[in-house]
Every structure is written in structure tokens, then in C-alpha cells.
Amino acid sequence: MTDTRDLFATVPRSDFDTPGKSRGLIDVVRWRYLLNLLVRTGVTTRYRNSVLGWTWSYVRPAAQFLVFWIVLGVFMNLDRDVPNYAVYLFSGIVVINLFSEGFKNATTSIVGNAPLVRKVFLPRQLFAVSAVIVSFVHFLPQVGLLLLVCLLMGWITHVSIFGVLAIFAAMVIVMLFSLGVGLFFGAINVRYRDAENIVELMLLLATWASPVLYSWTMVQEAVVDRLQWPQWLVEVYLLNPITHGVELFHYAFWRPATEGLVSAAGYGGDQMMAIPPGLAWNTLWTFLIALGTLLLGQLIFRRLEGRFAQDL
């Protein structure tokens, strides 16, 4: 009978992993089967025992759109300053919803899966990554609705290859950024639950800090022309990954769907539909900012994850 100790003696020590040692986001790829399972569970259980089911993925953005459109578009006459304000508003809302849901769910992902974290070793980043992917899955029906509306407005006749690329660039930038800040606050939230309140406050400000309800040219006019502040403040504002994601969606959806309406409606088209300066270069810079945020969030997460089971 063969001694099992002799079999193990022939296996190089380098083939063994130290128990409890994490390789960070690299382990997410190695454990992709578990990631797929977490994503499927998150998608299928979200609307369990719900009468409307996936219809709720449309209800929330529709309610947001109606409130903002009535208050700002109708009551405050912003639809007079921004052509095709309904599409402009909705194309920004869907980006904010992608960021908000991914950021919030990633922040609470470790605490929400406390029983697994306490009892089983697995890459804890899996929970944050799966939360962001689930938010992306629920973001797709909203984009589908936006695309359908734009198609009815003649979007297909004015869209360019750069517009299509802008859609994918915006999604990548926003998802990387939401995962980065989600990892950062998710790690802190394990010990200090105040992080959830800070995130709620940040999400409240995110809608107003990006050109969703107003045009970026209004920021230019207020900061530079009226307040006489330096121009670089506007440039920093445009380098916010969420702001740039919104502007990329405006470039991809709102502009092609609106170009045929501007001249007929009598708007000052060149001014109202002005592209933010350096849109292409800012896409590269905001991608690097989002990637840097992800690396920073991963660094903080790995420094704190060793105490997760104890703190939970």
C-alpha cells in the first residue's frame, strides 16, 4: 500500500498556496465560476416574490425622469435652454444610476455577506465585483429604452463610430470608478458603519455635481463669466469620471437624436450643443483616473481585509 506522505513529498512546495493569502483582483479571475454564481444569484434574487419583477428596473429611472423633467424642464423652463431636454435628462440619469447602484452595493457587499466572510475563505473582492456587474445588468434595460427613444428620433442617421465607442468608454470608466470607490468604502464600512452614511451623501451630491440636469456650458458661464474664477476649475470639473461619463452619453445619444431638431426649433444650436473641450483626451485622462481609483481602492481593501472576519 502506497504511503500518501510519499505522494505529497513529490509535489513542489511552490504548488501550494498559503491558506488565507489573497492575490486581490487577480483571484477574481481565478475564481470566475464563483463570480458567475454570485452574479446570477444577485440578478435572480433581486426581484424575488415581486409582482412586477424586472419592470422595477424601468420604474425607478422613469420616476426620476418625470420628477426632474416636470420640476426643472417645465416649471423652471430648462427645456427652453437645452434642446430635446427629455433625452438629455434621461441619458444622464441612466449613467448616474449605474454609478449609484454599483457604488452603493459594492460598499455594503462585505457586510451583507458577513456569514460567508466569517466562515469561508474566498477572495472578498468577489462580492464588490459581482455587485458592480449586477448593477450593470440592471442598467442594460434602461439603455435599451433610451436607445429605442433615440431611434424613433432619427438617431441612426446621425450617429458615428465615435458615438458608439463613446457608449462603451462611458460604461467602462463609470464601472471602474464605482468599483474603485466601492472597494475603498466597502473595506472601511466593515469597521466603521458611518461609511454607508457618507456614501449616501455622496450619491445625493453626484446627480447635482454632474451635468445631468443642466448643461456644462452653464457651469462655464457661472464659474468663468459671472464669478470670474479661473478656467482650470471648469477643466477639473470636466475630469470628474462621472461628469465625463455623462458627457460621453450625451455625445453618443443626445447629440445625434437632437441635431435634426435644433435648427427647426430655433435654438442657438452651436452654443447649446457645444462639445466639452478636449472630449477625446479627457476620455483617456478620466480612464486613467478611474483606473488609479481602482488601484487605490484595491490597496486599501487588501490592507484591511485581514480583519474583516474579526470586525464582523
Name the phi and psi angles at 139, rounded to 5.
-80, -30
Residue 49 confidence (pLDDT): 59
- Section 238-246 average pLDDT: 94
- Section 230-251 average pLDDT: 93
Q: What is the pLDDT of residues 195-222, one digit of tens each?
A: 888 998 888 888 888 888 888 888 888 8
Mean pLDDT estimate for the chain? 82
pLDDT over 70 (residue 13): no
- Of 74 and 222, more confident: 222
Q: What is the pLDDT of residues 149-173, one digit of tens each?
A: 888 888 888 888 999 999 999 999 9
Residue 84 confidence (pLDDT): 84
Q: Percent of the chain scored above 70 by pLDDT?
A: 82
